[in-house]
A and B are shown apart, each in its own frame.
Chain A
Amino acid sequence: MTSDRNRLSGPLADPTADAGYPDTHPPRMGFFTDTSVCIGCKACQVACKEWNLVPAETGELDLLGQSFDNTGALSANNWRHVAFIEQTVTPDRPPVDLGMPAIGPPAGDASDAGDGQVRWLMSSDVCKHCTHAACLDVCPTGSLFRTEFGTVVVQEDICNGCGYCVPACPYGVIDIRPGDGRAFKCTLCYDRLGAGREPACAQACPTDSIQFGPLEELRERADLRVTELHERGVDEARLYGRDPQDGVGGDGAFFLLLDEPEVYGLPPDPVVTTRDLPSMWRHAATAAVGVAVSVALSFLERGALERRKP
Chain B
Amino acid sequence: MAECHPVGFQWVVEARERGATIIHVDPRFTRTSALADVHVPLRAGTDIAFLGALINHVLSNDKDFREYVVAYTNAPAILREDFADTEDLDGLFSGFDPDSHHYETTSWMYEGARASAAAGDRDRWPASGDEGGPGAADRQHGGGELRETGRAHSYGAGGPALSGKPAMDPTLRHPRCVYQVLKRHFARYTPELVEDVCGVPRELFTRVADAITANSGRERTTALCYSVGWTQHTVGVQYIRTAAILQALLGNIGRPGGGILALRGHASIQGSTDVPTLYDLLPGYIPMPHAHQHQDLDAFVAADAGTTGFWGNMRAYVVSLLKAWWGEAADEENDYRFDWLPRLTGDHGTYRTVLNQLSGECKGYFLVGENPAVGSANSKLQRLGLANLDWLVVRDLRLIESATFWQDGPEIETGELRTEEIPTEVFFLPAAAHTEKDGSFTNTQRLLQWHHAAVEPPGDARSDLWFYHHLGRIIREKLAGSTDPRDRPLLDLTWDYPTSGPLAEPSADAVLAEINGHGQDGQPLSSFTQLRDDGSTSCGVWIYCGVRADGHNRAANRRPRDEQSRVAPDWGWAWPANRRILYNRASADPEGRPWSERKRYVWWDAEQGRWTGEDVPDCEADKPPDYRPPPGARAQDALAGTDPFIMQSDGRAWLFAPAGLADGPLPAHYEPYESPVDNPLYGQQTNPALQAYDHPANRYHPAGSEVYPYAFTTYRLTEHHTAGGMSRTLPYLSELQPEFFCEVSPELAAERGLEHLGWATITTARTAVEARVLVTERIRPLRIRGRTIHQVGLPYHWGPNGLSKGDAANELLSVVLDPNVRIQESKAATCDIQPGRRPRGPALRAHVAAYRRRAGLNEDEGTPPGAGEGQR
- Beta-carbon contacts under 8 Å, A93-107 to B: 98-102, 104-107
Question: Which of B2, B755, B757, B803 gathers the greatest number of chain A CB atoms within 10 Å?
Answer: B757
Given contacts A100-B776, A120-B29, A122-B31, contact A110 B747 (CB under 8 A): yes
How far is B757's CA from A104's CA once the two chains are assembled, in angstroms? 8
Complex Cα distance, B774 from A99, in Å, reads 10
> When the two chains form their complex, are residues A56 and B741 in contact, meaning their CB atoms are under 8 A apart?
no
Contact of A107 among B10, B33, B731, B749 (CB under 8 A): B749
* Contacting residues, chain B, for A113 (C-beta < 8 A): 777
Asked whether any CB of chain B lies closer than 8 Å to the CB of A65, the reply is: yes
Residue A263, interface by CB 8 Å:
no
Question: Is residue B718 within 8 Å, beta carbon to beta carbon, of the partner chain?
Answer: yes
Which B1-59 residues have C-beta < 8 A from chain A?
A: 2, 6-7, 9-10, 13, 17, 29, 31-35, 39
Q: Which residues of B lie under 8 Å from residue A206 when comparing CB positions?
A: 6-7, 9-10
A50 and B732 contacting across the interface, CB-CB below 8 Å: yes
Contacts of B778 in A (CB 8 A): 86, 118, 120
Q: Is the CB of A39 within 8 A of B2?
A: yes
Give A178 Cβ to nearest chain B Cβ, in Å.
Answer: 15
Give bound CA distance, A183 to B741, whole Å: 34
Considering the chains assembled together, what is the distance between the CA atoms of A50 and B718 in angstroms? 17
- What number of A-B contacts does a CB cutoff of 8 Å give? 129
Contact of A70 (CB < 8 Å), options: B13, B737, B750, B754: B737
Asked if B362 lies at the interface with its beta carbon under 8 angstroms from chain A, I say no
Interface of A is mostly: loop
- Give the distance to chain B from A53, nearest Cβ to Cβ, in Å: 11
For the complex, what is the distance from the CA of A120 to the CA of B33, rounded to whole Å?
8
Contact check, A71 vs B736: say whether CB atoms are below 8 A apart.
yes
By the criterion of a CB under 8 Å from any partner CB, how many residues of chain A are at the interface? 41
Interface centre among A88, A104, A107 (most CB of B within 10 A): A107
Whether B804 lies near A65 (C-beta < 8 A) is no
- Contact present for A70 and B738 (CB under 8 Å): yes
Which chain A residue has the least Cβ–Cβ distance from B737?
Answer: A70
Is A118 a contact of B775 with CB atoms below 8 Å?
no
| A280–chain B nearest beta-carbon distance, Å | 40
- Beyond A40-B718, A41-B2, A86-B778, is A70–B736 a contact (Cβ under 8 Å)? yes
B804 touches A39 (CB 8 A): no
A272 at the interface (CB under 8 A from B): no
**Is the C-beta of B772 less than 8 angstroms from some C-beta in chain A?**
yes
Contact indicator B776/A107 (Cβ below 8 Å): no
| Residue B183 is within 8 A (CB to CB) of chain A in the complex | no
Q: Is the CB of B746 within 8 A of A105?
A: yes
Q: Is A286 an interface residue (CB 8 A)?
A: no
- Judge if A67 is at the interface, Cβ distance under 8 Å: yes
Residue of A whose beta carbon sits closest to that of B738: A61
Given contacts A41-B718, A120-B33, A206-B9, contact A105 B756 (CB under 8 A): yes
Q: Is residue A6 contacting chain B, with contact meaning CB distance below 8 A?
A: no
- Contacts A40-B34, A107-B747, A206-B7 given: A63-B741 contact, CB under 8 Å? yes
Given contacts A42-B719, A61-B738, A88-B777, contact A105 B755 (CB under 8 A): yes
Q: Does B353 belong to the interface (CB within 8 Å)?
A: no
The residue in B719, B737, B739 that gathers the most chain A C-beta atoms within 10 A of its C-beta is B719
Q: Which of B773-831 contact A (CB under 8 A)?
A: 774-778, 780, 803-804
**How distant is B770 from chain A, measured CB to nearest CB, in Å?**
13
Residue A207, interface by CB 8 Å: yes
B487 near A: Cβ within 8 Å?
A: no
Interface set, chain A 21-57, CB cutoff 8 A to B:
37, 39-43, 45-46, 49-50, 56-57
Give CA–CA (A199, B674) in the complex, Å.
Answer: 49
Hey, which chain A residues are within 8 Å of B356, CB to CB? Answer: none
Q: Does residue B855 face the partner (Cβ distance < 8 Å to A)? A: no
Select from chain B the residue with minimum beta-carbon distance to A117: B39
Q: With A86-B777, A118-B29, A207-B10 known to touch, is A68 a contact of B737 (CB < 8 Å)?
A: yes
The answer to whether B6 and A41 touch across the interface, beta carbons within 8 angstroms, is: yes
Chain A residues within an 8 Å CB radius of B733: 46
Closest A residue to B778 by beta carbon equals A118
Residues of B within 8 A of A41 (CB): 2, 6, 31, 718
Which residues of the partner chain A approach B775 to less than 8 Å between Cβ atoms? 99-100, 105-107
Instruction: Indicate if the CB atoms of A56 and B10 lie closer than 8 Å.
Output: no
The distance in angstroms between the C-alpha atoms of A288 and B709, with both chains bound, is 75
CB nearest to B7 among chain A residues: A206
CB distance from B38 to the nearest CB of A (A): 10
Complexed CA–CA distance, A199 and B834 (Å) = 46
Cβ contact within 8 Å between A65 and B747: no
- Give A235 to B364 CA distance when docked, in angstroms: 64
Across-interface contacts of A63 in B (CB, < 8 A): 738-739, 741, 757, 772, 774
A208 to B12, CA, bound (A): 12
Contacts of B97 in A (CB 8 A): none
Contact residues in B for A107 (Cβ distance below 8 Å): 746-747, 749-750, 775
Chain B, Cβ-Cβ closest to A67: B776
B717 at the interface (CB under 8 A from A): yes
**A110-B757 contact, Cβ under 8 Å, with A39-B9, A70-B737:** no
Question: Are A110 and B736 in contact (CB-based, < 8 A)?
Answer: no
A39, A42, A119, A122: which has the most chain B beta carbons within 10 Å?
Answer: A39
- Report if A122-B34 is in contact (Cβ < 8 Å); known contacts: A61-B738, A63-B757: yes
Instruction: Say yes or no: is B735 at the interface (Cβ < 8 Å to chain A).
Output: yes
For residue A62, CB closer than 8 A to chain B, the reply is: yes
B34 and A37 contacting across the interface, CB-CB below 8 Å: no
**Separation in Å of the B293 CB from the closest CB of chain A?**
56
Q: How would residues 687 to 703 of chain B score, 1 for a CB under 8 Å from any chain A CB and 0 otherwise?
A: 00000000000000000
| Contact of A39 with B777 in the complex, beta carbons under 8 Å | no
The answer to whether A56 touches B732 (Cβ under 8 A) is yes
B804 and A105 contact, CB distance less than 8 A: no
Across the interface, B746 reaches (CB within 8 A) one of A50, A65, A110, A120, namely A110
- Residue B734, interface by CB 8 Å: yes
**Contact, CB under 8 Å: A104 / B756:** yes
Answer whether A42 and B718 are a contact pair too, CB < 8 Å, given A100-B776, A208-B10. Answer: yes
Please give the distance in Å from B26's CB to the nearest CB on chain A: 12
Question: CA separation between A71 and B738, bound complex, in Å?
Answer: 10
Q: Which residue on A lies nearest to B736, using beta carbons?
A: A42
A121, closest chain B residue (CB): B34
Nearest to A41 among chain B residues (CB) is B6
Measured between C-beta atoms, what is the minimum distance from B563 to chain A in Å? Answer: 20
Task: Please report which residues of chain A, range 73-130, place their CB below 8 angstroms from some CB of chain B when the two chains form the complex.
Answer: 86, 88, 98-102, 104-107, 110, 113, 118-122
Which B residues are in CB contact (< 8 Å) with A46?
A: 732-733, 736
| B803 contact from A61, A100, A110, A118, Cβ within 8 A | A61
Report B-chain residues with C-beta under 8 Å of the C-beta of A49: 732
Q: Closest chain B residue to A102 by CB distance?
A: B757
A39 touches B31 (CB 8 A): yes
Across the interface, which residues of B come within 8 angstroms of A56, CB to CB? 731-732, 734-735
Nearest CB in chain B to that of A39: its residue = B2
Q: Which residue of A lies closest to B739 (CB)?
A: A63
A62 with B747: CB separation less than 8 A: no
Interfacial chain A residues near B35, Cβ < 8 Å? 37, 39, 207
Structural contact, B31 and A120, CB atoms closer than 8 A: yes
Query: Which A residues are CB-close (under 8 A) to B29?
Result: 118, 120
Contact B777 A70 (CB under 8 A): no
3 closest pairs, A vs B, by CB?
A61-B738, A56-B731, A110-B746
Q: Besides the contacts A100-B756, A107-B750, what 16 more A-B pairs have beta carbons closer than 8 Å?
A: A37-B13, A40-B34, A49-B732, A61-B803, A68-B737, A86-B776, A86-B777, A101-B756, A105-B750, A106-B746, A110-B750, A118-B29, A120-B31, A120-B33, A207-B13, A207-B35
30 interchain pairs, CB-CB under 8 A: A37-B17, A39-B6, A39-B32, A39-B34, A40-B718, A41-B31, A42-B736, A46-B736, A56-B731, A56-B734, A61-B735, A63-B774, A65-B756, A65-B772, A67-B776, A70-B736, A70-B738, A71-B735, A71-B736, A98-B776, A100-B756, A102-B756, A105-B755, A107-B749, A120-B31, A120-B33, A122-B34, A206-B9, A207-B13, A207-B35
Q: Residues of B at under 8 Å CB distance from A?
A: 2, 6-7, 9-10, 13, 17, 29, 31-35, 39, 717-719, 731-739, 741, 745-747, 749-750, 754-757, 772, 774-778, 780, 803-804
